[in-house]
Amino acid sequence: MWVMRGLAVASSVTESVVSRSRFVCSLFRVGSEAEVRERVAGVRREWWEASHHCTAFVLDGGRVARSSDDGEPAGTAGAPMLEVLRGRGLTDVLAVVTRYFGGVKLGAGGLVRAYGGAVSAGVEAAGTVELAVWPRLLVRVGYGVAGSLEGLLRLREDVRLASVVFSDVVTFDVACADAEVLAAWVAGLSAGAAEVEPAGSVRVEL
């Protein structure tokens, strides 16, 4: 099972002050580079008068990771921000640190500490959770067993029930730790009448 870490919240904002410069760290859960661009654009609109909006993000279990110094000296902002995200083992997360210049130059070392520290404080405040990629299944059963099946699905720790759709049959959209184990269990409960269809995978909080 692929286990990662992610933010415990959808978004958070924390602030710190270093030598009169104000650093605002905005953290977001994100699922794509398109969402990253949308979130960064939103921060720029909200904090339009700031000096810099430096960014770092990690996607796809750490396979995609990028950063930007946004006008700060090369390597002093985005890189230390990204190092914090990677060091915490986080994925599907965007950090934007907005700086209001306070009139005192921090130097390269000071900037590295300020930007990295802003993200560290933000992650500490937001908290983290373990994430796993689980198989997703569509389970279709008749109305005769649907009620008892739903109750039992909700009790299982290795299953996440996303939705229930009622039509000529009842369809349960579930994620599970082991697709074969769940399919066999459902077959036993329904006397082999259930239809189980693989539907990709989904990330779940453990």
The two tokens of residue 181 are 């184990």
Q: Give the bridge partners for 68, in sequence order.
A: 55
Residue 26 · residue 95 · CB < 8 Å: yes
Domain definitions of the chain by residue range: 2-126, 131-205
Q: What pairing do the DSSP bridges indicate for beta strands 93-100 and 128-141?
A: unpaired
The letter for the amino acid at 90 is L
Residue 1 has pLDDT above 90, yes or no: no
Q: Please, which pLDDT band fits residue 168 given cuts at 50, 70 and 90?
A: very high
pLDDT tens sequence across 24-40: 999 999 999 999 999 99
CB 123 within 8 A of CB 86: no
Query: Rounded to 5 degrees, what are φ and ψ at 18?
Result: -130, 115
How far is residue 199 CA from its own chain's centroid?
21
30 touches 158 (CB < 8 A): no
Say which amino acid occupies 81. Answer: M
pLDDT attached to residue 206? 87
Averaged over 114-132, what is the pLDDT?
96
Second-level CATH architecture of 2-126: 2-Layer Sandwich (3.30)
> At 128, is the pLDDT very low, low, confident or very high (cuts 50, 70, 90)?
very high
Q: Write out pLDDT tens, residues 41-63.
A: 999 999 999 999 999 999 988 89
174-195: pLDDT as tens digits: 999 999 999 999 999 999 999 9
Average pLDDT of the segment spanning 10-21 = 96
Please indicate, yes or no, whether the overall pTM of this predicted structure exceeds 0.95: no
pLDDT at position 167 over 60:
yes
What is the residue-averaged pLDDT of the chain?
Answer: 95
CATH architecture of the domain with range 131-205: 2-Layer Sandwich (3.30)
Instruction: Determine the average pLDDT of the residues in 3-21.
Output: 94
- Tokens, residue 86: 């990677």
132 to 5, 40, 42, 140, 172: CA distances (angstroms): 8, 26, 29, 25, 20
The pLDDT, as a whole number, for residue 24 is: 98
pLDDT exceeds 80 at position 19? yes
Helix H segments across the chain?
33-46, 78-87, 107-126, 143-155, 179-189
Is the pLDDT at 2 greater than 80? The verdict is no
How far is the C-alpha of 139 from the C-alpha of 173, rounded, in Å?
7
